[in-house]
Amino acid sequence: MKSAPFSPTSRLLIGLAVTLAAVAVFSLYALSQIAGLRNLQTRTVDRNRKDSLQLLRIQNNLHTLGLAMRDMLDPDEPYPLDAWKGQFSRIRLDLEDALRTEAQLAPGTPARGRQQYVAASMIQFWTSVDQLFALAGRDDKQARKLIRTTLQAQQASLTNTVARLLVENNETEEQAMTQIQAIYDRVERQIYIFLAAMLLTISLTSLYLIRSNRRLFDHLAVVSSHRSELARKLISVQEEVLHSIARELHDEFGQILTAIGAMLRRAEKKGLPADSPFREELHEAREVAQTTLEKIRSLSQTLHPTMLDDGGLEKAIDWYLPTFEKQTGVAVKYEKSGTPPRISDRIGIHVYRVLQEALNNVARHSQSAAAAVRVRFEPDRLRLEVEDRGVGLPPGGEASLRRGTGLVAMRERAELLGGTIEFLRPGAAGALVRLEIPIPKDDSV
């Protein structure tokens, strides 16, 4: 017999540990990438967008100031220069608030330097505006000259600087989006690689498991065939031993006891007085010898019925059932149907042993006073049923029956004959043993 194959459990556990470790590492990697992506979006993209909104706010106010200064220089404008002071004050407040907000949102050191430049330029611009409105009450001509020579240039410079900041913000946002897309691509690529690795690992593990299971099943098949062969040999040896013992008991010891009985009968007839104590002792000894002879013949028939060798399975059943009733007190109802074919001794002895074991179980365990035996003969099949109305099968059902050696032997005999045996519960109580076997043509002639 081949040695048992190496158990795949340890290797499968190692593979499972490696797979779980790979899943954990990839999960940590994916979480870190997601955290970096969230940080990049929050730190760069979102701040850039908010900063751009503030820069657009500043740019819009600067354009409004430019339009106001153009109107102030218009000779057809009916309003004096002092009339624009309120509008400039409102725009100044809004610009200062926008500059403070933008200073908090400036994304980097270069942008922050330019923001400081804008703030300094804005201070210079509002200083010039204060000079403008100081001159407006005294010398409108000089004030307009200040607008043309200083204020408009400062406003244009501020507008260009803010525009450059907007362009830089857009470029930074595009770079951030490029980095985000690169992260997405890298994570997607890693996911595909991880999935491919997992599929490969699962495939290899499945193939290894299938191969290991196949080796185990092959080994179990070999063990099962060896077990069946061993059971067949054991049963054959058992039947041969029982047959040999039964023959020895019937032939040797039976003849000896018969001879002893005859010798005692002759001694009893040799002119002894009828009231002689020795004559009575001879008679008692002859009765003991006769009783022992009957018990030996009964034991011989139990071990291996000669009726099976002489008359076949049908005659053996006809002889055994009355004997069983007499020995156990269990009434047996026998039903037979079909035309009995000629069944070989190889099949007959196994069917007889199954019947014998089933009825013994009825007598020992069922607590039933009656049993039914049904035999159905068909040209190519034989069905045997033994039923009682006793306590029935144990709570575990057929699984609990496998622990009994007698029932195991019944199952082995059924398998040796290529048939099936069932242990059923036909109703609320009782048990039913059903044996069904094929009868090969070479065994039915």
pLDDT for the residue 291:
83
Average pLDDT rounded to a whole number, residues 336-342: 83
Average pLDDT rounded to a whole number, residues 103-131: 77
- Quickly state the pLDDT bin for 400 (edges 50, 70, 90): very low
pTM for this model (two decimals): 0.51
Question: In terms of pLDDT, which residue wins out, 327 or 248?
Answer: 327
Query: 307-443: same fold as 9-209?
Result: no
| Axis-axis angle for helices 9-40, 152-248 (nearest 10) | 170
- Quickly state the pLDDT bin for 60 (edges 50, 70, 90): very high
Q: For the chain, give me the number of helices (H) and strands (E)?
A: 12, 5
pLDDT for the residue 435:
92
Per-residue pLDDT tens digits for 22-59: 778 877 877 777 777 777 666 667 777 888 888 888 88
Cβ(432)–Cβ(385) below 8 Å: yes
pLDDT at 6 over 60: no
Pairing state between β 331-337 and 431-438:
unpaired
- The third-level CATH classification (topology) of the domain covering 9-209 is Four Helix Bundle (Hemerythrin (Met), subunit A) (1.20.120)
As beta bridge partners, residue 436 has 383, 420
Give domain 307-443's CATH number out of 3.30.565.10, 3.20.20.450, 1.10.287.70, 3.40.1050.10: 3.30.565.10
CB atoms within 10 A of CB 338: 13
pLDDT for the residue 434:
92
Sequence ranges of the domains in the chain: 9-209, 307-443
> Rounded distance, CA 1 to CA 185, Å?
58
Pairing state between β 370-377 and 381-388:
antiparallel
pLDDT for the residue 2:
45
pLDDT at 220 over 50: yes
pLDDT at 106 over 50: yes
> Rounded distance, CA 189 to CA 180, Å?
14
pLDDT at 406 over 60: yes
| Axis-axis angle for helices 47-73, 152-248 (nearest 10) | 160
Per-residue pLDDT tens digits for 138-179: 888 888 888 888 988 988 988 998 888 888 878 877 887 787
> Rounded distance, CA 284 to CA 291, Å?
11
> Rounded distance, CA 325 to CA 58, Å?
117
DSSP per position, 113-159: HHHHHHHHHHHHHHHHHHHHHHHHTT-HHHHHHHIIIIIHHHHHHHH
pLDDT at 265 over 80: no
Angle at 325 between CA 320 and CA 329, to 5 degrees: 155
Give the SS3 label for residue 379: coil
Question: Cα torsion for 93, 96, 102, 104, to the nearest 10°?
Answer: -110
Tokens 């339009």, residue located? 67
> Rounded distance, CA 265 to CA 279, Å?
10
Residue 194: both structure tokens together: 């991880």
Question: Cα torsion for 123, 124, 128, 133, to the nearest 10°?
Answer: 0
> Rounded distance, CA 382 to CA 434, Å?
11
> Rounded distance, CA 424 to CA 385, Å?
11
Percent of the chain residues past pLDDT 70, beyond the cut: 86
In which region does residue 63 sit, left (phi positive, over 0), alpha (psi from -120 to 50) or beta (all else)? Answer: alpha
pLDDT at 278 over 80: no
Give the length of the chain. Answer: 445
Per-residue pLDDT tens digits for 227-263: 777 777 777 777 677 767 767 766 677 778 777 877 7
